[in-house]
Structure 1
């Protein structure tokens, strides 16, 4: 049957069995923690007497913690995950109290590895990680004759686990057994964890694959996902080296190009000096010829422009004279018409004057005649 470790001593542990009894169990050099669940049998010595009261109070407090209110939720709910990738990929789920509540393999080798680990529940994170690494060494997943890589990925709600402490623990523990082992620790997040679960790989491995693809676009996700972590790390290092080589080549090419330009400039300047006065004179003559040709061309273009202007002026002048002639003709016509009107008016006035004068003369004549007749008539009367 199973029981929970209540107290740990140098050579023995006190276990609370499922039937409520307390058993004294030999430790047998096992690394056991309080709260850890282990296998016990009925042959173990049962504890009796006054010590039972103290153990009962401890057991009551422990049971109360994990079976009431927030305690049961906090104890059995995953607070975070630690993934260990070698070639076996293993995921350790731990609770709010940093106790391991689940252990599963993420690939075939991972399932084989965890099948060798018993009684992992309620143990500390550090204890289970060390056992995972020890089992990997025993199963020859980590070997002294090869380069080894262990990838640790921590994904949790808050920074509860000490990342540096975990790194130092794993690094020192593995190097006590196999020296040539590189330990890499990565912090994940919930988004990466969800994506990794969809791809059935660890968050750390997903992050390494994405980094490899970012460095080398020819890498295919499906192919790399099947490779062990050390192979992915090798691909990343090669891709980095290749990228650095390309950057160095570019820098060298740029530097070489600048140096070649400088050499060409020096050759050109040296060549110019070597030409001597004769070539300088020829060069000056060529420059002078170019200037003269340019001046001549400019003058020809200017003459052409002047001719154009003159043609425009001549055309405008003809247009002006034509308009002026038309205006003068119109003015003469108007003047002639006005003169005709004036002459007609003058004739009319002269005719009127003559008529008036004639009428006046006739009237005067008639007056004289009437006066003469009247005078004559008067004289006749006098004679009678």
Structure 2
């Protein structure tokens, strides 16, 4: 005699499935090799009644219920325990977002860090998807929302963060290559900036409530002695921070040029100094020539008398 067994598929094994039946019990039911159900699917099977259940129903039911409770508890622990990410990919254009990935580089979740990002990734199903597919979908949405185009090249800043002691497979294409491939397929232009950081760097960024890429921009401006309040940085995108850095660099260049101009004489001043030097030299030359005056005849005659060389000019 056969009986109907209805329930939700909790586990799929090679030759059978584990069903959680309508009465709360769990049953192992053989499945057709050509018709394998999916986990979570509600199915109905016809199986032979077990003699054990027919003859000793009162004794067996408590054992089945206990086993079901234990199995359900074990499965709940694995089902509701959050999956720990192995990697993070922080992406900034104007939308700022973070992708959490597992050891196989499949995306666990995507988090928007500002309003623009939340609008772009709205209703985007990424769980379990390959990183290539998710990045391509992000590029498509950025193009549709006019953040990327073929006419105006944007700048995409991406930072790869290792959260656990894992090494990326040598066969993994770089993040830059994945983005460039997607940019080419969607016929949009963008300049890529790709960085690699560790978990400590990520934690420092989060301590000051900044995305990883914004934190790097803040550090660069601080190193260049650009005075900027951390609260102002928190409210700005990487694109806006880059514009601030460029303006401050221009101001610094102008200040240095002004200082050089003040320290070096102008051409007019140099010419005036040259003319003054020439006049001084000419005046000195005139003075020296006027002091070499020939001695008078009387002075010469007096000297001759003193030396006994006086001759009489009167006639004898």
> If the TM-score is normalised by the length of the shorter chain, which range does it land in?
0.5 to 0.7
User: Could you say what secondary structure the match of 1:173 adopts?
Assistant: helix
**Distance 1:253-1:201 versus aligned 2 partners, 3 A rule:** same
Taking the aligned partners of 1:252 and 1:178, their CA distance within structure 2 comes to: 48
- Match for residue 136 of structure 2? 130
| Secondary structure of the corresponding residue to residue 174 of structure 2 | helix
5+ long unaligned stretches in structure 2: 1-8, 15-30, 37-73, 75-81, 292-316
Point out the structure with the larger helix share: 1
Task: Give the match for residue 238 of structure 2.
Answer: 229
Q: CA deviation at 1:91?
A: 0.8
- Which whole-Å CA distance do the structure 2 matches of 1:252 and 1:104 have between them? 51
- Structure of higher RCO (CA pairs closer than 8 Å, 6+ residues apart): 2
Say yes or no: does 1:247 pair with 2:239.
no
| Equivalent residues of 1:116, 1:135 under 8 A apart | no
CA contact (8 A) 1:106 1:201 kept: no
Q: Deviations over 1:47-69 (max 9, x none)?
A: 845x98xxxxxxxxxxxxxx9xx
* 1:1-384 map, 5 Å: 20=12, 48-49=33-34, 76-118=83-125, 120-143=126-149, 146=152, 148-156=154-162, 160=168, 165-177=174-186, 179-215=188-224, 217-254=226-263, 256-257=264-265, 263=271, 266-280=274-288
TM-aligned CA deviation for residue 81 of structure 1? 0.9
Displacement of 1:79 in angstroms is 2.0
Query: Deviation of residue 194 (structure 1)?
Result: 0.9
- Taking the aligned partners of 1:161 and 1:234, their CA distance within structure 2 comes to 36
**Cα distance, 1:19–1:97 mapped onto 2, change above 3 Å:** closer
> So what's the TM-score if we normalise by structure 2?
0.56
Structure 2: how far apart are the matches of 1:142 and 1:47? 50
Alpha-carbon separation, structure 2, partners of 1:228 and 1:91 = 14
Structure 1 stretch displaced more, 260-269 or 135-144:
260-269
Q: In 1, distance between residues paired with 2:167 and 2:254?
A: 38
CA RMSD, Structure 1 to Structure 2 (Å): 4.0
Q: Secondary structure at the match of 1:121?
A: coil
CA contact (8 A) 1:151 1:183 kept: yes
Aligned length: 221
Partner SS, residue 185 of structure 1: strand
Q: Is residue 78–residue 101 contact of structure 1 (8 Å, CA) maintained in 2?
A: yes
Structure 2 SS opposite 1:217 = coil
**How far did 1:144 drift?**
5.2
Partner SS for 2:12? coil
Inter-CA distance 282–103: structure 2 relative to 1 (3 Å threshold): farther
CA contact (8 A) 2:135 2:182 kept: no
How far residue 235 of structure 1 moved from its aligned partner, in angstroms, is 1.8
CA distance in 2, matches of 1:161, 1:273: 81
8 Å contact 2:94–2:238 — kept in the other structure?
Answer: yes
Q: Contact (CA 8 Å) 1:148, 1:230: kept in 2 or not?
A: no
The alpha carbon displacement at 1:225 in A equals 2.5
* Matched-pair contact (CA < 8 Å) for 1:188–1:204: no
Partner SS state of residue 197, structure 1: helix
**Which whole-Å CA distance do the structure 2 matches of 1:160 and 1:199 have between them?**
28
Q: Could you say which structure has the higher strand fraction?
A: 2
Q: Distance in 1 between matches of 2:101 and 2:254?
A: 44
CA contact (8 A) 2:96 2:113 kept: yes
Per the alignment, in what secondary structure is the counterpart of residue 188 of structure 1? strand
